Copies of this chain bind each other. A is one copy, B any other.
Amino acid sequence: VILINGKPNDRVDALDRGLAYGDGVFRTMRATRGQIPYWLRHHRKLASDCAALAIVCPAEDLLRAELAEILSTESECILKVIITRGAGGRGYAPPVKPSGTRIIASFPLPKISTQIDHDGVRAIWCQTRLAIQPRLAGIKHLNRLENVLARSEWSDPQIAEGLMLDTAGRVIEGTASNLFILEGERLVTPDLRGCGVAGVQRERIIEVAGRAGMVCSVEEVTRERICDAKQILLVNSVVGLRWVSALGDLRWQQSWQTAAIRQALDDLAD
C-alpha cells in the first residue's frame, strides 16, 4: 500500500523535487502488532531532519493517522515515510510557497532468521567512502548515492552489512545501520558530525547504555579500534541489534554485554 498526501496512489508528480534533487528526507520503521515502536522518536527525527533542510514537516497526528490506516490492514510490515519539498519547476531554487509531498509505503517484513541473535552476522569493509559534509551530516536525506554504491559492492546474501569509512579514513557506519564497538565494558559509537545518519536506534542505545551497566561515548573510531574491539554491534530500526561475528579475517564471539544491551533496549518503552 502507498499513500501519497493521504490518498492511495502509487505514482508521484514527475516534477517532484525529491526526484529532481533528492530534496527531502525519509524514515524506515518496523511495525509490529499494528503499532510502530518508538513512533514519537521517529517523528521527532523526521521533524528535525526537515527543519535542517527548511522543509515543512507534516504534523505528528496527521502522519500517525495515515500510518494507522495502513496498519489496520497490515499489522506486521516495514513502513517507509518520505517527505519531500514537493513539486517545483526547473532550477535549484526552492519554490516560494512549497507544498511538500508525503509518501507512506508499506513493504513485507524481510526474512530475518532468529538464529542471528545467536550466530551474529558477517560484515565486510566497503570501498566506497562517505564524503565529509557537516551541513548534511546526521540527516536521513534522500541523497543516498554513496550508500547505493557501497551496497552494490556485494551480492552474497551471507553478508549482512558493509562498513563505511569517511574520506579521511574514519569508521562511520554500516550502509544501512549505525555502529557501536565494545571496548572492555565501554561502548563507543562514531562521531557523526562530518557524515553518516544519526539513527533513532543509535540514540536509544546511547540513552540505555547506563542501564546495561556500561558507559557510552561518541568518539572518532579508527579501523584499528574495530580490529581490537571486544564486539562490533550494528543497529537500525528494521532489523534491530545485531553483533558481527566475522569481518574480513576477524572473528568474534557474542559477549554478555550484547545480550545486556538487547535486554535494556527491549525494556526501554520509547
- Most chain B C-beta atoms within 10 Å of own C-beta, residue among A14, A15, A94: A14
A128 to B91 CA separation, bound complex (whole angstroms) = 17
Please determine whether B20 and A145 come into contact, CB atoms closer than 8 angstroms: no
Residues from 3 to 40 in A contacting B, C-beta threshold 8 Å = 4, 9-23, 26, 28
Please determine whether A152 and B19 come into contact, CB atoms closer than 8 angstroms: no
- Most chain B C-beta atoms within 10 Å of own C-beta, residue among A19, A90, A195: A19
For residue A150, which residues in chain B have a CB less than 8 angstroms away from its CB? Answer: 92
Please determine whether B135 and A92 come into contact, CB atoms closer than 8 angstroms: no
Give the shortest distance, in Å, between A111 (CB) and chain B (any CB).
Answer: 13
Please determine whether B21 and A21 come into contact, CB atoms closer than 8 angstroms: no
Please determine whether B92 and A176 come into contact, CB atoms closer than 8 angstroms: yes
Please determine whether B135 and A146 come into contact, CB atoms closer than 8 angstroms: yes
A28 to B20 CA separation, bound complex (whole angstroms) = 11
Please determine whether B21 and A148 come into contact, CB atoms closer than 8 angstroms: yes
Would you call A129 an interface residue if the criterion is a C-beta within 8 Å of the partner chain's C-beta atoms? yes
Give the shortest distance, in Å, between A243 (CB) and chain B (any CB).
Answer: 21
Please determine whether B90 and A148 come into contact, CB atoms closer than 8 angstroms: no
Give the shortest distance, in Å, between A196 (CB) and chain B (any CB).
Answer: 12
A150 to B93 CA separation, bound complex (whole angstroms) = 9
Would you call A105 an interface residue if the criterion is a C-beta within 8 Å of the partner chain's C-beta atoms? yes
A26 to B129 CA separation, bound complex (whole angstroms) = 23
Please determine whether A53 and B145 come into contact, CB atoms closer than 8 angstroms: yes
Give the shortest distance, in Å, between A96 (CB) and chain B (any CB).
Answer: 8
